Amino acid sequence: MAVIQLNDYNSAIIGKVLANDVISDSGSFLLSKGMEITDSHVEILRKHEVEYIILEDNLPPIDIQLKHIFKNEKLSSLYYDNLVEVKYLFLQAVSDRIPTLRTFMKPFTPLLDKIIHGKSVFLELHHIKGFDDYLYRHSLNVGMLAATIGKILHCKDETIVLLAQTGLLHDIGKMKIPSEILNKEGKLTTLEYNEVKKHTIYGKEMLEKISGTNEKLHLGALLHHERLDGSGYPFGMKDKIPLVAQIISVADMYDAITSDRVYRNKYSPIEALTELVNEVYKGKLNGEIVFPFVEFIMKSYVGNKVLLSDGNYGKIIRLSIEELNRPLIELQDGTGYINLREKRNVTIENVFPQ
């Protein structure tokens, strides 16, 4: 997948294959999916002032990964199609052709329906490797995670939809942060970090221009980096952080630390859950959100193969109510069991899909 802007058109795209049909703003059919781009096609696109086209990559890495990761091929295809759309729509959102909320949600609705009707659709996502298109993948994942948390907490359907919308759009303000800062491999300077923190403000400003959004969505995006101890940003709030923003905070943090980043390797799901629990004990995150989420994830992993920090492989057999993230492990070599509550120097390094 490659979304190309008009001002990026050059000889390098000649011979590339269109990933979707190209329709003008007036509704005229211009070019069809699967066509190889020629010089004359470029002229047609310029003439009709087409701002973006989507090109096929040669064997898109994430597409291949998804087919191996998701058991359901339709789900794999649905996720990938959503990823293409999210990238395309985010690019439009910083142009003069701002999509409506309905446009953003249209491709996401089938995934949301699965969540509302009780199907977990994100548990395998941490197996996706690499950090290409991180912002778009993260936005899609947080939308799914936030909706799932809403389902776990028995929220009303309209609240789950709001959580999905807010999660999908919570980081849209990063479209206004210079890419050289977002993708910097080393540690950010204080000046650079302060610029990144502005993405919540930028996001609220952008969302206010998107038809169909409301104040709850705006505040959820604006405040998702606030923390209950007042250590967050942009305002250092404590007591009046909306529930939607608190849920987005948990979903955002979980997906961020289970994803590869340019500056560090990803955490395993269990390590990420442990980090969330630690943030509760530090007074930063809401335990009434985190603990049900941790329980849900850990129950879903019972029976899964794991790699332990001591090099052993095993299988999660039973959870501990006191410490859900430190279960009983049956060793693969047949030598017995390890109770991670007792063996504190051993942790779960990775969880493998069944």
pLDDT (tens, 9 = 90+) of the chain, 354 residues, equals: 455 555 555 556 677 777 777 777 777 778 877 777 877 778 788 787 776 677 665 434 444 444 444 555 666 677 888 888 998 899 899 887 899 999 999 989 888 888 877 666 666 555 555 445 789 989 999 999 999 999 999 999 999 999 999 999 999 999 999 988 988 888 899 999 999 999 999 999 999 999 999 999 999 999 999 999 999 999 999 989 999 999 999 999 999 998 877 666 778 888 899 999 999 999 999 999 999 999 998 998 899 899 999 999 999 999 988 888 899 999 999 999 999 999 999 999 888 877
Residue 320: CB atoms within 10 A of its CB come to: 14
Tokens at 252, concatenated: 């955002």
Residue 325 CA, distance from chain mean position: 22
Structural domains present in the chain: 1-58 (3.90.105.10), 62-266 (1.10.3210.10)
Whether 1 and 66 have beta carbons less than 8 Å apart is answered as no
Rg over CA atoms, the chain: 22
Whether 161 and 108 have beta carbons less than 8 Å apart is answered as no
Q: What burial letters (b/e) apply to 11-30, b meaning 16+ CB within 10 Å?
A: eebeebebbbebeeeeeeeb
Tokens at 309, concatenated: 């920090």
* Angle ∠(349,352,354) on CA atoms, nearest 5: 155
Give burial (CB, 10 Å; 0-12/13-18/19+) of 154.
exposed
Q: How far apart are CA 211 and CA 188, in angstroms?
A: 34
